[in-house]
Amino acid sequence: MSTPLVTTAIDGGVLTITLADEANRNALSTALVGQFVAAIDQADDDPDVRVVVVTNTGRVFCAGADLSERSGGNQPDTESLKDPSNIFGRIRQSPKPFVGKISGHAVAGGMGLAACMDISVGLTDAKFGFTEVRVGVAPAMISVICLPKMGHAAASEAFLRGNRFDGTEAARLGLINYAVTPDEQDALVEEIVADLLEGGPGGLAGSKQLLQQVPGMTFDEAMAWTARLSASLFQSEEGQEGMKAYLEKRPPRWSPRAG
């Protein structure tokens, strides 16, 4: 059996997805994308999975598209489950929060993958960037992810120059949430995961819906839609339990502190 390019492990309600194709710099090959989508399926289908952490082995988080597959005019079928855009869409649509523990460089499509996480922690000395123009293409699909996080002037410079910048700059641009040193990363990711595990699964899923839906709505549409969402969450079994736990000054049933 061939060595897996993506591995998974579950511990305490946290599914860790690790990109493990070091030889190919965790490029988004057809095989790696297929295994990554299967790991997302695993997260979405398992009610015991509360949080997903995405990380990597080696010095590169993700080098973007697999150019050895794309050269010669080859292009993935955009309807295929193995098209890289499916990873971005699946992470955004998943009801589970995704935390990026970005332990290496992330350029081109890898930059998009890092930016796609709900919360991301990169390294100060890792290299990030939109390097597509250097090989004669453009950051097309990942612009859908990255443009809403960046100011127009910053995006214009980064897309057109194709230069690489460090994690501190990636955080300043809003592409990742934090840039830390390697010895700080584990503790910060653990702190973020602990906070997420205190949130109700339905509340977290609803919050992700807000982030995806509200920016594309008019004011009146947003107010009507969020009123319906709010009512459904307050009336849900989870919402009732959360309010009861708060009034009784105890952890809700989903909290790790509830034992």
Active site residues: 132
Q: Are 162 and 130 in contact (CB under 8 A)?
A: yes
Beta strands in the chain (DSSP E): 6-11, 14-19, 51-56, 60-62, 98-101, 105-107, 119-123, 127-129, 164-166, 178-180
3-state helix, strand, coil in the chain (%, to 5): 55, 15, 30
Cα distance between residue 74 and residue 80, in whole Å: 14
Q: How many CB atoms are closer than 10 A to CB 46?
A: 13
**Distance from the Cα of residue 191 to its chain's centroid:** 17
Taking a C-beta distance cutoff of 8 angstroms, is the pair 175, 106 a contact?
no
Number of CB atoms found within 10 A of residue 191's CB: 11
Would the CA dihedral through 40, 45, 46, 51 be positive or negative? positive
| Sheet of 127-129, strand order | 60-62, 105-107, 127-129, 164-166
DSSP 8-state class, residue 108: T
On whether the CB atoms of residues 20 and 56 are closer than 8 A, the answer is yes
